[in-house]
């Protein structure tokens, strides 16, 4: 089968564009959705001065039902993405980390620890920076050619997927004004897994994810299944 290929985008902005901030009802809808489907928020990494959109990262504490930390963005949906007809222009992102992943400020100064947060922020800002959109089964290599996110990190890109570890209704945030926001999982990939997606397409990548039982819960030591 044909691959999905690689699209290269140019920034639509010249320099820093200050974020305007989320509408209150959207921010509150995201808060309520997190509490209903994921659990209590342990803390939030706030952005104070942001380009285009302010991407805050909510860290949901482990629970008996979800024994790992869940990281969820709030702010990607400040602005609509540039989408084809019939595609929802609003999205937020998430991924899960093992409970022993260090999230204190000192540990996060290490790029090999901070990279999952950086990836969430970069992908959340990407569609607004480049006048494009992020949806299910879009892949985002870390550079061209794809390079590891940090020294010692085996992952060099990611794919955007539906969440697997939640009920179906958790996949959409609905605001009081009926604005719908897709909540999408970010799954890190090895460079050769990214290459399979580019060369052979989504179905080939889905086979890899199924073979490795790969979900939105990051296993930092998992091998490549390409």
209-221, pLDDT tens digit by residue?
Answer: 999 999 999 999 9
Categorize the per-residue pLDDT at 52 as very low, low, confident or very high, splitting at 50, 70 and 90. Answer: confident
Greatest Cα-to-Cα distance within the chain, rounded to the nearest angstrom: 47
Answer whether residue 18 shows pLDDT above 80: no
Write down the mean pLDDT value for the chain. 93
Angle made by CA atoms 60, 65, 71, in degrees to the nearest 5: 20
Residues 105, 38: Cα–Cα separation, whole Å: 24
Residues 93, 163: Cα–Cα separation, whole Å: 10
* DSSP helix/strand/coil, 93: strand
Task: Give the pLDDT confidence score for residue 125 in this predicted structure.
Answer: 95
SS3 content of the chain, % helix, strand, coil (to 5): 30, 20, 50
């Amino acid at each position: 089968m044909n691959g999905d290929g690689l699209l290269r985008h140019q920034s639509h902005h010249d320099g820093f564009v200050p974020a305007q901030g989320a509408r209150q009802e959207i921010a509150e809808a995201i808060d309520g959705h997190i509490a209903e489907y994921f659990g209590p928020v342990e803390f939030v990494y706030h952005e104070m001065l942001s380009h285009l959109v302010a991407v805050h990262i909510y860290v949901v504490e482990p629970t008996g039902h979800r024994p790992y930390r869940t990281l969820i963005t709030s702010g990607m949906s400040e602005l609509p993405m540039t989408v084809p007809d019939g595609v929802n222009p609003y999205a937020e992102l998430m991924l899960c980390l093992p409970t022993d992943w260090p999230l204190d400020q000192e540990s996060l100064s290490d790029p090999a620890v901070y990279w999952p947060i950086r990836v969430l922020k970069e992908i959340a800002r990407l569609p607004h920076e480049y006048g494009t959109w992020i949806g299910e089964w879009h892949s985002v290599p870390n550079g061209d050619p794809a390079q590891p996110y940090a020294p010692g990190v085996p992952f060099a890109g990611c794919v955007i997927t539906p969440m697997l570890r939640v009920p179906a209704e958790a996949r959409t945030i609905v605001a009081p004004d009926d604005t719908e926001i897709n909540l999408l999982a970010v799954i890190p990939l090895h460079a050769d897994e990214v290459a399979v997606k580019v060369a052979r397409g989504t179905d080939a990548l889905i086979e890899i994810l199924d073979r490795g039982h790969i979900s939105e819960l990051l296993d930092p030591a998992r091998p490549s299944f390409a």
